[in-house]
Amino acid sequence: MAERFGGYQNEIYLHGLGGAKPPFTTDPTRLAESAREVMTPEAYDYVAGGAGSGATMAANRAAFDRWRLVPRMLTDATDRDTSATVLGERLPAPVLLAPVGVQSIVHSDAELATARAAASLGLPMILSTASSRTIEDVAEASGAGARWFQLYWPADSDVTASMLTRAERAGYRTLVVTLDTWSLAWRPRDLDRAHLPFLTGEGLATPLSDPAFRALLDKAPEEDMPAAILRWVSLFTGTDHSWDQLPFLREHWSGPIVLKGIQHPDDARGAADAGVDGIVVSNHGGRQVDGAIAALDALPGIVRAVGERVDVLFDSGVRTGADVLKAVALGAKAVLVGRPWVYGLGHAGEDGVRHVLRGLLADLDLTLALTGHRSIAELGPDSLQRS
């Protein structure tokens, strides 16, 4: 089991003996810069941009820097176990692919490439409601891979129920409900380009293929696409939901339910009281509220509040293997990773996603070992020091 993921390092070096180099950088701090050279300006800004001044994105990264790993020696860490159990599901590492929409603006294979790459590594892919490919087509691309479905909760109950039914029938196990994006934030990069991909039909495969949504239209999308797009946008944004509506989701979903976007302990308690199975501590990667609390700063208090009642996951700002270990040490069961593998998708489709994820997993594995831990389960507050 030694270097199960860390062996990617040796693979790269051995290929280097024959003159081969990695397809693009292995440095997570250079991925965005590198991807900018191969993606369209509109696609790059949509992925890289955040709310307002970008202060929340910066805060997410700064929060990781305030925690430092404390290496221990002579711990017999030659053989390691990077696995983790999340909502009863055994994962090879505490890593999931965060839901990212409109992947067709990044690469023509879109979510199909991402699904194949995730499945090849045994990592769950969380499919966004704003997918460029249908629920069913992505499920087929995933094969036997673990898959979760993310819901941007529409303002129409019939459409919501229909999408959930489709996802369950297609084998999606866990429902992730994003709470923080019921309306789009002020995003200057997109606004400066007057670019919102949904208005050109990108990222609408789920509603356009949904019978309940199509029943709301005067004409089929194939006959009047502009009207269908505007109808979906009206359901997709502008309507907030309330705690007393959560039972509706349980009525239409038999598997685990996770609420994403939790940043306050009282909201975490509300989620646990409502009977959900998990939460994701997340500020949407800094894309929704400018000047918000860093997600990692919110994590310890939320774990203290509900960590024994629900599975607490983490999202926002994860870039390195060390980041994963820090979040787990602070109480997260696993992390969701987004932008890094999207940049990989932009570089080289499925192979690019796999390269980025293998690099992250190798970094995680090697850092786990070199900090003196033999398993993910050994990580805890004592593994860290506040800087």
Q: Catalytic positions, please? A: 284
Q: Is there a contact between 283 and 180 (Cβ–Cβ < 8 Å)?
A: yes
Relative to beta strand 67-69, strand 384-386 is antiparallel
Helix ranges (DSSP H) in the chain: 7-17, 31-36, 41-48, 55-65, 110-121, 135-142, 157-169, 188-192, 205-208, 211-214, 225-236, 246-251, 265-273, 295-306, 321-329, 339-370
Relative to beta strand 84-86, strand 278-281 is unpaired
Question: What's the token pair of residue 371?
Answer: 């900090």
Contacts for 355 with CB less than 8 Å, ≥ 6 apart: 22, 23, 24, 344, 347, 348
Q: Is there a contact between 142 and 116 (Cβ–Cβ < 8 Å)?
A: yes
Q: Which residues on neighbouring strands pair with residue 112, listed in sequence order?
A: none
What φ, ψ does residue 157 adopt, rounded to 5°?
A: -65, -40
Angle between helices 295-306 and 55-65 (to 10 degrees): 70
Where does residue 331 fall: left (phi above 0), alpha (psi -120 to 50 degrees), or beta otherwise? Answer: left
Question: What's the token pair of residue 109?
Answer: 């294979």
Residue 312 CA to residue 338 CA, distance in Å, equals: 18
Contacts for 169 with CB less than 8 Å, ≥ 6 apart: none
Q: Is there a contact between 164 and 249 (Cβ–Cβ < 8 Å)?
A: yes
Q: How many helices (H) and strands (E) does the chain have?
A: 16, 12
Contacts for 334 with CB less than 8 Å, ≥ 6 apart: 84, 86, 91, 94, 95, 96, 313, 314, 328
Amino acid, res. 265? P
Question: What's the token pair of residue 137?
Answer: 């087509």
